A and B are shown apart, each in its own frame.
Chain A
Amino acid sequence: MENNKILCNTGTVDLSIQDITGEIERIEKAADSKLSLTPENADSSIAKLVLTLVELIRKLVEKQAMRRVDGGLLTEDEIERLGETLMKLELKMEELKKYFNLTDRDLNINLGPLGDLM
């Protein structure tokens, strides 16, 4: 193989560290995101899976809502009610995560080459 396949690497970010760290994080996440169901942990595993989906939907709703706010499509009253709803949803998610002893990192799924779900 040609000795040097790196033709250009002139940036300021420490790439070797960045790349390796990224890969390690991805592998760790992939391992963590596997659903390992056993009779002992059936409750928490299902909770993790369900909450991951709920969190994904919550974030999608939030993103879409911000698009609408940003686009000037909502009245002040609607924005107010939207804020209340989103805030309460977020607080409820925090409660559920705490109840099931889950962190933000737990509520993610590694989709291999596609990257992380969230």
Chain B
Amino acid sequence: MAILIYSLIFIKDRQAQLNDQLITMNGLNGTNLVAISLGEITAVVSEIKKIELVANQANAIRFAEIIDQLDQQFTLLPMRFGSIVDTLDTVSQMLKTNYQGFIKNLVEVENKVEFGLKIYCDPEKLKEELRLKSESESEILDDSNTEHSVSVYRVYVNKKLKAHRLEQKLLSYIEGVTAEFSEIIGQWDAKSKIKKMVTSAKVVDAVFLINRAGKVDLVRSIEGLQAKYPRLSFVLTGPWPPYNFVDVTLK
């Protein structure tokens, strides 16, 4: 039998509340959830046979559900699926050895939740729209009158230049959307990680950490941004445990 760790909770003086909640919950494979505490941190764990911890979708979702359920009531650090140690003593030892690191992370995510925003586009349609929207064709490059009078090499450069300018316009458009999005989450002093142009269709992939109370305003703001950019598709998800904002190297 091994011990599976689900999350580390910033328990403070709410141990009784956690105990009450754990009674109503089950771990993977219906096992009991157990609290291992040290100071202000409590690890939520369950026993598991290593052979039973199959890395499949059902188990991964169930594992995430347990963490999510706890996250709705407590500030926590989610553990990676498959975080197994041999004994309960090892869990206690881990809490002791890494206590300051855990506390530092827990303070940073206290009362905050993670949201994700993905912005998609149809790149060809968007490029075409941007080209049409240009104040004049000359902004991209008008070579229609000159192609007959210049060399094949100059025509080649013009063609490449057109594509380059369109690409630049697309990048600048995405920069504009990202700047507005950053301004929106800036009002919550959010921590964020934003990737741009992940693929030609997924133009923004962002995760950010804001106060729990900000959810309603956030949804309204993103819907406003969507209305402003109808050619883009916004998918906002959350609230999630702070999966992308935990930085602990276990000693």
Contacts and interface: CB of A to CB of B under 8 A. Distances in A.
Given A1-B69, A22-B199, A10 B234 contact: yes
Given A2-B68, A2-B72, A116-B199, 13 more contacts: A1-B69, A7-B215, A7-B218, A8-B219, A10-B233, A11-B120, A12-B230, A12-B231, A13-B120, A66-B164, A83-B157, A84-B153, A87-B152
A14 to B, nearest CB: 9
Contacts of B122: 13
Contacts of A92: none
A16 to B, nearest CB: 10
B201 A18 contact: yes
A104 interface: no
Interface in B78-122: 115, 118, 120-122
Per CB-CB distance, the 5 closest pairs between chain A and chain B, nearest first, are: A11-B233, A83-B153, A66-B164, A8-B236, A13-B233
B36 interface: no
A11 B164 CA distance: 27
B222 A8 contact: yes
Contacts of A39: none
Interface string A63-98: 100110110000000011111101100000000000
A116 B201 CA distance: 13
A62 interface: yes
A22 B231 contact: no
B65 interface: yes
Nearest to A66: B164
Most buried by B among A13, A26, A79: A13
28 contacts: A1-B69, A5-B237, A6-B237, A7-B218, A7-B236, A8-B219, A8-B223, A8-B226, A8-B236, A10-B233, A11-B120, A11-B226, A11-B235, A12-B233, A18-B120, A18-B202, A19-B118, A22-B199, A26-B199, A66-B160, A66-B164, A69-B161, A70-B165, A80-B153, A83-B157, A86-B156, A87-B156, A116-B199
B72 to A, nearest CB: 8
Contacts of B240: 5
A70 B120 contact: no
B238 interface: yes
A10 B154 CA distance: 44
B198 A15 contact: no
A104 B222 CA distance: 37
B218 to A, nearest CB: 8
Contact of B154 (A8, A11, A19, A83): A83
Contacts of A11: 120, 226, 232-235
B157 A10 contact: no
Contacts of A36: none
Given A15-B233, A22-B199, A7 B160 contact: no
A79 B157 contact: yes
